[in-house]
Chain A
Amino acid sequence: MVDCRAEFPALREGVVYLDSGATSLKPRTVIEAMVKYYEEFPANVHRGGYPWANRATEAYEESREKVARLLGAHPDEVVFTKNATEALNLAASILGEYVKEGDRILVSVMEHHANFLPWMRLARIKGAEFVIFNVTPDGYLDLNDFKKKLTHNTKVVALTMASNVLGTIPPFKRVAKMAREVGAYVVLDGAQYLSHHRVRVRETGAHLIGFSGHKIFGPMGTGILWGRKELLKDGNPLLIGGSMIKDVGFDNYELEETPKRYEAGTPDVGGVIGLGAAIDFILKIGYDNILAHEGELTRYLYESLRSVPGVEVYGPPPEDRTSLVAFNLRGLHPHDLAWYLGEMGIMVRSGGHCAHPLHKFLDIPYHQSVRASVSIFNTKGDVDRLVEGIERAKRAFRL
């Protein structure tokens, strides 16, 4: 197993952080890269010709190249956003040009709201049909349901690459292939996927993919939209204003080329530079090592939770899921359990996890759950602490 705990300053003695699904901890190198920017060359980008400004622009664009290399993409296809939600909203803004009244937008029931609501809203605005395809009771994507609902008027298919509740990794390449056969655009949500798995964007079959930067060890306020250049070329940006235009007249304007046309105003330069350092960190450890470490830990987490009497675990077995497990303890509301665990220094998330339709669809008690997610710095000892914590909560709440 990988031992890199020392590289995370927040991991002080006794800290059990099991919420990397919400945001990953930041390695020292990421924090240092940001501090270096703010201390040594804290200028704005794409403006001014003095040394700090040039250095800031170079560092900002170097991060874009790192992202492009990580994803197997061209730098012009990499747009920086503030998070995956913004990336997916931008995807909807770009595809909005192609969706017409009577078209169908097909979205899985296990989407995070970030890849659900932009499509629901777009469908409402355009008078398109918003159709949901299901998961099976054991948490797999229901491919038969998808095939049935994939009609010739389907213009967009939106799907997660890994469910943030069930952990399910759906066969997104297969789905993308089928969607393309009817001429639909495919949008994937890679927020939960990229910190654990190498992604070659062109091999996914998708047209647009939203990623989170802060879930891949990068700073808060960073996200990525990858899109095929032919689609990004003329897309409709979410924001217009500073630094994304070629020219502005008294009653007209001409937008910049991609990716600049999508990055209006001053971007989070320090954050993007930190994101570059996060990618260096991932590549230094290596996806093979990450997967091996997290795979073993996810199995241990899944089996350990299932062995606790009263605990109900949601989603498929560990071999078919990413590094998280959502569960409930019978007789105790997830807020109560997560809070009590937190009092013992064990940090997990509780709630609907921005996936209310999925909780309702599976009729999960309280329509909420507790979620533990593991990362490269977690250990089996962390999982043992979680299990002990649940047992203590059972006693404290007289279960």
Chain B
Amino acid sequence: MQEFLDYILDHYHRPRRKGEMEGAEVVLKGGNPGCGDVVVIYLRREGDGTLKVSFTGEGCTVSQACASIVCEAADGKTPDEILNMDYTFLEERVGPDIMRGRFKCATLALDTLKAAVQSLK
């Protein structure tokens, strides 16, 4: 499990695609302060049909690292490609223990991202 934890810690301490986006077409907040994890997804359509993706947020290591993992992978993809990303994508990266034990934290960003993409359609 340590290997997965180190991967997560890398994304947590050096988040990719983190920051508000100027000219975002969609800003969607996921999670709730009561549970402690919040991820805000920013989306903008590019001329070639792909999407620019970024996030902001706060919360536990897993939720914030997964936001970074998901946004890094989704940035530059088409809406359909993003909608085809599923939990297998996450499980391959964070491992089965974290997916099982931290399901809500791990899936928050991906679910929010997909809801944001849906709202573009």
* Contacts A352-B34, A356-B34, A368-B36 given; does A343 touch B97 at CB 8 Å: yes
A263-300 with Cβ < 8 A to chain B = none
Closest beta carbon of chain B to A227's beta carbon, Å: 31
Q: Per a CB cutoff under 8 Å, which of B33, B36, B61, B97 touches A332?
A: B61
Stretch at the interface among A41-49, A103-111, A157-165, A333-341: A333-341
Q: Are B34 and A396 in contact (CB under 8 A)?
A: no
Inter-chain contacts of B97 with A (CB < 8 A): 343
Bound CA span A352–B2, Å? 28
From B102, which residue of chain A is reached at the shortest CB distance? Answer: A339
Interchain Cβ contacts within 8 Å, total number:
41
Can you list, as one digit per residue, whether each of A362-375 has a CB less than 8 Å from chain B (1) or not (0)? 00001110000000
Bound CA span A342–B1, Å? 14
Q: Tell me, yes or no, whether A351 is within 8 Å of chain B by CB.
A: yes
* Contacts A339-B102, A342-B101 given; does A366 touch B36 at CB 8 Å: yes
Q: Are A397 and B60 in contact (CB under 8 A)?
A: no
Q: Tell me, yes or no, whether A398 is within 8 Å of chain B by CB.
A: yes
Q: Are A367 and B36 in contact (CB under 8 A)?
A: yes
Q: Are A398 and B9 in contact (CB under 8 A)?
A: yes
Q: Per a CB cutoff under 8 Å, which of B2, B62, B102 touches A396?
A: B2
Inter-chain contacts of A334 with B (CB < 8 A): 36, 60
Chain A interface: which size bin?
A: 10 to 19
Q: Per a CB cutoff under 8 Å, which of B1, B36, B105 touches A351?
A: B36
Bound CA span A354–B37, Å? 16
Can you list, as one digit per residue, whether each of A354-395 has a CB less than 8 Å from chain B (1) or not (0)? 001000000000111000000000000000000000000000
**A336, A342, A397: most-surrounded residue (chain B CB, <10 A):** A336
* Contacts A356-B34, A396-B5 given; does A333 touch B60 at CB 8 Å: yes
Q: Are B35 and A351 in contact (CB under 8 A)?
A: yes
Bound CA span A335–B38, Å? 13
Closest beta carbon of chain A to B32's beta carbon, Å: 11
Inter-chain contacts of A335 with B (CB < 8 A): 36-37, 59-60, 62, 102, 105
Inter-chain contacts of B34 with A (CB < 8 A): 352, 356
Q: Are A333 and B59 in contact (CB under 8 A)?
A: yes
Bound CA span A397–B34, Å? 24
Closest beta carbon of chain A to B63's beta carbon, Å: 8
Inter-chain contacts of B36 with A (CB < 8 A): 333-335, 351-352, 366-368
Q: Are A343 and B60 in contact (CB under 8 A)?
A: no
Q: Are B2 and A336 in contact (CB under 8 A)?
A: no
Bound CA span A19–B97, Å? 22
* Known contacts A332-B61, A334-B36, then 16 further A-B pairs from the complex at CB < 8 Å, ordered by chain A residue: A335-B36, A335-B37, A335-B60, A335-B105, A336-B60, A336-B62, A339-B101, A339-B102, A343-B101, A352-B34, A356-B34, A366-B59, A367-B36, A396-B5, A397-B61, A398-B6
Q: Which 5 A-B pairs have the closest CB atoms?
A: A333-B60, A335-B60, A336-B61, A368-B36, A336-B60
Q: Would you list 15 pairs from A and B whose C-beta atoms are within 8 A, ordered by A residue?
A: A333-B36, A333-B60, A333-B61, A334-B36, A334-B60, A335-B59, A335-B62, A335-B102, A335-B105, A339-B101, A342-B101, A352-B34, A356-B34, A397-B9, A397-B61
